[in-house]
Structure 1
């Protein structure tokens, strides 16, 4: 029996020896007659960790016999797809799995998990023109200290083309997310419901290593006798946990008694950061259950309740959490709010009144982890062990490995979390983020102060995005398990 202390994604300490084999006995190695090292890593790691392992016949524990014939069959199976990406998608990925993915370079993937990317700092949504394949973009926000922050472009601006080409459903990925580091946006005007190109052009250049602090805005208001805090939080990134707690501490010092969490553009991220934020908002009783994990049947039976159950926290990076201790939370959402954003809402629901304002969320209730070709470490990516990753295989996969359920046992929100007050963003009236007249924030303020009926919240041009800048990033819709627990098997 091997005992492993696992911190998925962050830090992992193992007490297993080099001779330990975490693969199943009937999992065989290729005989070297084919170049299938990457596929071999993918199969073995997915056989062990994948949530839907039992649903994929080719991932079954008894799929290949530990014989010479079985070894040859296994090698032929790995060699059935020359491209590892195609092998992953066609042979290993469950048909209902919308979110597992891969990358040829683990460094690019892990940087993305840390909020570091190659980007020009323009965050935008994309909308399809009615009855047309043409699309247009609208600016959501600008990342501070980015290339986009140095040019004439701002929230609410519209664009219909790139480098003189009209954006369509078939070309926007190549034009906006391709290999071109520099591109020029062809801007547009909005007039009486019509979006028409103008002669304005904005040139943008992607920069390597752009780090986005996800705590985009934090401020407080005193309105109608209510002390209201507001945080716009755009990714659950554990490298910025101290910044997040600082923002909460400042709001507590300001005497807030109400909090609005703006997660409308937050695609997810760290499970542990989500737990910390929930503790900052609700409470620090470490006996209260934050979530319960569910893995594939093979792994699930290896855990006891104390290993599967994650409770609220009382410290962030060793510092005691001075919680807000609220009984009610207002959350702003859109169809881009996903995974860890949904986890925050779902896990707080059993304990407090969570009032959701905006649009239906994405519907991502599974968590993932980063797997690399470090076979002595059960394929788990560990920053301190990068020198142990197979130098001939730099691929990483980010498969879904489990689901989280809240203290009431609820987890089924694959169709998204429905808002209590539906209010889509309106591209003719986006408003200024963090200003009390911005429509979604204004609705929350109205509910807090009880000043109903004083504003018309009619949405004339609702935004129904088909994609966004964040949805085309590696961190899109990710809930990354980086909590600590003991595993024995």
Structure 2
């Protein structure tokens, strides 16, 4: 995502009217006070504590779009406005819909750019563990967002990166490559660590020009960009390849497999993102599992940052089946205290999300008459990391709400029992926390994540094993550390001998490591320059988006 910078300059003009009298004596001069008329404002203004209707400012843009939206076929709603009107819309929208609206500082919008103003329209409170209460506040260019969520296509090389450290000495490791992408065709394996890019020292270069060049090379704006990569592989050997960027088709479901174990047949699949294009692949995977009489299932959600709530409901149904989900609620959404009966975003009466047992026509927003396959399992193994978030956690929580045993293998999830309705205004799509989800038992308090443990004491602690992400083996390989732990636990009920929880915390990657790296640099007065990292806001390109669908209606 390309960052766009705005400059907001506030001019304060003070007019002082002085009245007085001249020297003494009868001959003194008299000064007559002059009253001036203040200028009439030509536009809206900010008044602390006063919030006008969103409709007053929506689609009034400093730079209106023209023409037709290629994804909806409708003309853009934009009209000529101002940056202030964009900010005032954000302010009113936040006050109406943000879950913690009463924890937002009402700062003067004149002191911020549009995006800068949005970035501070959030709670500054902390969770019980001392982390930020709202780590999920971000925005994205609307065209870019729609391209991925509607079509599953994004621009790049096909790498999914693990950002171990984004300041010098940097470390960027390949998690996996999208099938048939330029990166996959170049045979860049999981675990490869980036050393140089276009001849620039990726690990150590700390010049502004170097960092700018690194960012430009890592995240090309257009297809057809040729970039030279030098990697160090797991065995220490080098790999130098030239890769040409292209439009990448994201494959949400990968590495579907069935393993013969002592407990019978165990199904496995890697699931990377809850986007609408995943539905057919998920159905194919579960059809295979049903046909092969799978009795155990491992779902690999280690890099799944979330997506469609309806799709999460479908996945949960395919695991649990009709009997366990009958008359049960997948998730109930709770909005702010202004909206106890009505959804503040849609204006509709509040209703819970059921376990969807039918295929969904996501384009029309309707349930079809076609039933989904289901395994009717009473236990499922879920592989997780700190990048497992939102809709992924909702699946875990929903299954536990109907007494399906969820065994967690890996590390603590990101902790997001919250969701939002992505909302476009003036070409930017905004994501602000608008609801908390709770399961069929009313539980949704896992803001610090679900945690695997051998002796659960709290509802956010799950039975399972703390295991590091293993970059030495391919995903889906039964010898890969996390999958091997899941298969072993299934067979014996015991966890493998692994490093301590403290070591896991020290070795954890992604946004938590990067945050500590930045904090350490600041504490030391360092001037380390950070490369861009989409994962700081989105573990995948659509991280934390639990709702991105029209209201699902039953097709008659």
Give TM-score, length-normalised by structure 2: 0.67
Correspondent of 1:145 among 166, 169, 180: 180
SS of corresponding position for 2:407: strand
Matching of residue 480 in structure 1 with residue 547 in structure 2: yes
Q: 1:40 to 1:157 in 2, by over 3 A?
A: same
Distance (Å, rounded) in 2 between the aligned partners of 1:441 and 1:212: 23
Closer, same or farther: CA 200–431 of 1 in aligned 2, 3 Å: closer
List per-residue Cα deviations over 1:379-430 (Å, max 9, x = no partner). Answer: xxxxxxxxxxxxxx22221222111011222212121110220001244xx3
The 1:49–1:485 alpha-carbon spacing in structure 2 relative to 1, beyond 3 Å, is: farther
How far, CA to CA, are the matches of 1:277 and 1:52 in structure 2? 30
2:338 match: secondary structure = helix
Deviates more, 1:25-34 or 1:155-164: 25-34
1:96-149 per-residue CA deviation (whole Å, 9 max, x = no partner) reads: 42212123x3121222334321121011213249xx941222221110121112
Cα distance in 2 for residues equivalent to 1:169 and 1:89: 29
Summarize the Cα distance change of 1:57–1:425 in structure 2 as closer, same or farther, 3 Å threshold.
closer
| Match among 481, 486, 492 for residue 450 of structure 1 | 492
Match of 1:94 in 2: 123
Equivalences for residues 453-464 of structure 1 within 5 A: 463-464=507-508
Residues 404-419 of structure 1: matches in 2 within 5 Å? 404-419=437-452
Q: Say if 2:217 is the partner of 1:165.
A: no
TM-fit CA distance, 1:245: 1.3
When structure 1 is superposed on structure 2, of 398-407 and 271-280 the one drifting more is 398-407
Q: Equivalent residue for 1:331? A: 382
- Judged with a 3 Å threshold, the aligned counterparts in structure 2 of structure 1 residues 337 and 473 are, in CA distance, closer, same or farther, namely closer
3-state SS of paired residue (1:167)? coil
Indicate the residue corresponding to 1:206 in structure 2: 245
What is the aligned-residue RMSD (CA, Å)?
3.3
The Cα offsets for residues 245-274 of structure 1, whole Å up to 9 and x where unpaired, read as 121111110110110001111111111100
Greater share of strand residues, 1 or 2? 1
The alpha-carbon deviation at position 207 of structure 1 amounts to: 1.9
- Correspondence 1:235 to 2:264: no
In structure 2, distance between residues paired with 1:234 and 1:298? 35
Task: Determine the C-alpha separation between the residues in 2 that align with 1:437 and 1:35.
Answer: 55
User: 1:320 and 2:371 equivalent?
Assistant: yes
2: distance between equivalents of 1:479 and 1:151? 34
Determine if contact 1:125/1:469 at 8 Å carries over to the other structure. no
How many Å apart are 1:459 and its aligned residue? 8.7
Report the number of matched residues: 414
After the TM superposition, which of the residue ranges 106-115 and 472-481 deviates more from structure 2?
A: 472-481
CA contact (8 A) 2:534 2:541 kept: no
* Structure with higher RCO (Cα < 8 A, 6+ apart): 1
Query: 1:29·1:40 contact (CA, 8 Å) conserved in 2?
Result: no
> 2:440 & 2:499 partners in 1: Cα distance?
36
Match of 1:122 in 2: 159
CA shift at 1:221, angstroms?
1.5
Q: What CA distance in whole angstroms lies between the structure 2 residues aligned with 1:222 and 1:336?
A: 29
**Counterpart contact for 1:214–1:234, Cα < 8 Å:** yes
Q: Deviations over 1:337-377 (max 9, x none)?
A: 1111111111111221100001111112210112124xxxx
Structure 2 Cα separation of the partners of residues 473 and 175 of structure 1 = 19
| Alignment CA distance shift 1:153-1:28 (3 Å) | closer
Conservation of the 8 A alpha-carbon contact between 1:286 and 1:314: no
Other structure's SS at 2:389 match: coil
Q: Which has the larger radius of gyration?
A: 2
Unaligned runs of 5+ in 1: 1-22, 60-76, 374-392
Aligned residues of 2:95 and 2:101 also touching (Cα < 8 A): yes
CA distance in 1, matches of 2:192, 2:329: 44
**Contact 1:293/1:309 (CA < 8 Å) preserved in 2?**
yes
5+ residue gaps, structure 2, are: 1-49, 61-79, 125-132, 361-367, 453-463, 512-532
| Matching residue of 1:246 | 284
Determine the C-alpha separation between the residues in 1 that align with 2:392 and 2:54: 37
* Counterpart selection for 1:370 from 392, 403, 422: 422
Corresponding residue of 1:422: 466
For 1:51 and 1:147, locate their aligned partners in 2 and report how far apart those are by CA, in whole Å. 42
Question: In structure 2, how many angstroms separate the alpha carbons of the residues matched to 1:250 and 1:33?
Answer: 54
- Per-residue deviation, 1:335: 1.4
Report the Cα distance in structure 2 between the residues aligned to 1:475 and 1:464, rounded to whole angstroms.
Answer: 22
Kept after mapping to 1: 8 A contact 2:253/2:270: yes
CA contact (8 A) 1:45 1:371 kept: no
Partner of 1:309: 352
Say if 2:382 is the partner of 1:352: no
Residue of structure 1 equivalent to 2:521: none
